[in-house]
Amino acid sequence: MDVAIIGGGIVGICAANYLCHAGRDVLVIDRSGICEETSSGNAAALAFSDVLPLAQKGMIRNLPRWLRDPLGPLSIPPSYFPTLLPWLLRFASASRPSRYDAALAAQASLMKLAEAEWSSLMDRTGTGTMLRADGSLELYESDAEFQSSLPGWSARERFGIDFRHLDSEGIAELQPGLSRQFVRGTFVPGWKTVADPKRLGEAIWTATEARGAGFRKGDVALIVPTGDRIAIQLREGRTLLARNLVIAAGAWSHLLARSTGDKIPLETERGYNTTLSAGAFDLRRQLIFSAHGFVVTPLATGIRVGGAVEFAGLRRPPDFRRAKAMLAKAARFMPGLETQGGREWMGFRPSLPDSLPVIGRARKAGNIVYAFGHGHLGLTQAAATGRLICDLVSGESPPIELSPFSPQRF
């Protein structure tokens, strides 16, 4: 085949769409299906204003306090800490002021491209009706918490991101029914959400399939570059050959990258959510409770309460007490929220210590391209990544500088 893509999540299918429109013959390989795993249960945000690297968003400062609460915004099981330690050291290094401006500029450039490419992709696939431009509302429980957020908003302002700070009356106007404990807020009008991330992914795939893309269900065990071809070995016993390969397998991608000689420090941020019925609350837009590490999103299919971070790898069983803890907080913050009958879920965010994804060629094989490590921003950056992957495979010059996203930067 011409181009094989390992990964049927939102990044993989966006890459497939761009490649098909460039006239390439594309096969997507995934062990589950199209948008069946992490891409099905995310917070549904197109968070183009979320340009701050995670290391600069207060995580280092709040880490000791959060870790004291096993069901708080961040959790690390003690048995997993030795495995995670090298990643944490890299994460701490990424928080240095000397690295801040470069990471911020790289993320902002990718976000600007993402906004333009999502507009183009939605027009091309007829999915624009799934876009909601209601903005987001970030909430603060004290003036001190609000003041600590201001440097981040000043950084966003440098890149032309529009926002408006609110008092309690302004909050009530944008979202009635919240607890009075929230004294300040910030409204971001350019923040967007989608009606349902799984439905969006399926609709994009339908349009991509109509352009000739194929799908193969299979679990990839190993990739072996052989001259100008790549052998893709499936656990089921079959071997496929491709002239070009895109690895977009989310939290499992770094395991495949080892086959090509690239050791990439990817870790898994496990996220939890509960999706309630659509009538559970009169929710006007996405609410962000940043001090508690979760958001609440209105979907066409319900109200989703989710977020938080659990570093526990790929094999540990889910701990749905974390989903229940967020739901209990949401009920306090949103009096009248009907919490019965929700559907719990856990997914894997593929995260790199500097909060930037890997987009680039493998060290030892120029016909293998990586597209993973987007962390909390996979949906947001998927269209931009698809465009960049298409340019790399086709030998075109990309519209932004790709060196900050190089697989070899580590």
* CB-count exposure of residue 96 (10 Å: 0-12, 13-18, 19+): exposed
Residue 391 has which token pair?
Answer: 């340019």
pLDDT at 340 over 80: yes
Q: Where are the domains of the chain?
A: 1-53+96-128+193-264+353-410
pLDDT, residue 99, reads 84
Examine the pLDDT at 124 and tell me if it is beyond 90.
yes
Q: Which two tokens stand for residue 55?
A: 């290391």
Alpha-carbon dihedral angle through residues 205, 210, 212, 213, given to the nearest 10 degrees: 10
| pTM assigned to the model | 0.95
For every residue of 214-225, DSSP letters joined together read EEEE--EEEEEE
**Cα distance between residue 249 and residue 252, in whole Å:** 6
Fold of 1-53+96-128+193-264+353-410: FAD/NAD(P)-binding domain (3.50.50)
pLDDT at residue 100 in the model: 83
Q: Please, what is the average pLDDT of the chain? A: 94
- What digits encode the pLDDT tens for the residues 205-261? 999 999 999 999 999 999 999 889 999 999 999 999 999 999 999 999 999 999 888
Q: What are the pLDDT digits (tens) for 57-100?
A: 556 666 777 777 878 888 999 999 999 999 999 998 887 887 88
Q: What is the pLDDT of residues 132-186, one digit of tens each?
A: 999 999 999 999 999 999 999 999 999 999 999 999 999 999 999 999 999 999 9
Q: Could you tell me what percent of the chain has a pLDDT over 90?
A: 88
Positive/negative CA dihedral, 330, 331, 332, 335:
positive
DSSP3 helix / strand / coil % (the chain, rounded to 5): 40, 25, 35
Provide the 3-class DSSP secondary structure of residue 50.
coil
- Residue owning tokens 């906004």: 115
